[in-house]
Amino acid sequence: MPRVPKKTLPALVEGGETIGQRIARFRKLKGMTQQELADAIGIERILISDYERSRIRLYDELVAHFAKALHVSSDELLGLVKLDTDSEAPSLRLMKRVAEIEKLPEIKKKAILKTLDDLIRANS
C-alpha cells in the first residue's frame, strides 16, 4: 500500500492538474464510474477515490494499469503530454443513457423528451 504523502507535490505544469485530477477527468471522459475503473484495474473503489483526491500517491506499475484501463498513454496520465480532447464532446455517460432511451417504446421516449424539454426551458 502506498504511503500517505506528508507534502503535496506541485503540479508538473503551471496551473495544471494533479495526477489524481487527470485520472478523474479521463475516467469521466470515458463514462466510467470509480467502481468500473477499480474493477478494470483490480483494486478497491476506495483507492480510486484516494488516488483522485491525491490522498495517496501512485507507484509506477499502477500508473501503467491506470493508463491501460483509461486507454491513454502514461505520458498523458502523468501530464507530460497534453491529451487532444474536444471539450464540447458529450460525455460517454450521457451517451450511454441516450442509447438506453433509444431502446424504450415510443410513448416512453416522448415522455422523457418532454420532461427534458421542460427542464431545459425552466433553466434557460
Shared-domain flag, residues 30 and 9? yes
- Assign 45 a pLDDT band (cuts: 50, 70, 90): very high
Higher pLDDT, 11 or 26: 26
Higher pLDDT, 7 or 119: 119
Torsion of CA 53, 57, 60, 62, to 10 degrees: -50
Once rounded to an integer, what is the mean pLDDT over residues 90-112?
A: 86
pLDDT at 121: 87
In CATH, what number is assigned to the domain containing residue 1? 1.10.260.40
Shared-domain flag, residues 79 and 116? no
pLDDT at 79: 84
Q: Are 22 and 37 in contact (CB under 8 A)?
A: no
pLDDT at 63: 93
Shared-domain flag, residues 67 and 12? yes
Shared-domain flag, residues 25 and 52? yes
pLDDT at 11: 56
Shared-domain flag, residues 82 and 99? no
Once rounded to an integer, what is the mean pLDDT over residues 81-101?
A: 72
DSSP states along 59-98: PHHHHHHHHHHHTS-HHHHHTSS-----TTSPPHHHHHHH
Tally of domains in the chain:
2
Shared-domain flag, residues 60 and 111? no
- Per the structure block, which three cell numbers stand in for 57? 500517491
Q: What range does the domain containing 35 cover?
A: 1-86
pLDDT at 17: 81
- Assign 115 a pLDDT band (cuts: 50, 70, 90): very high
Mean pLDDT of the chain: 84
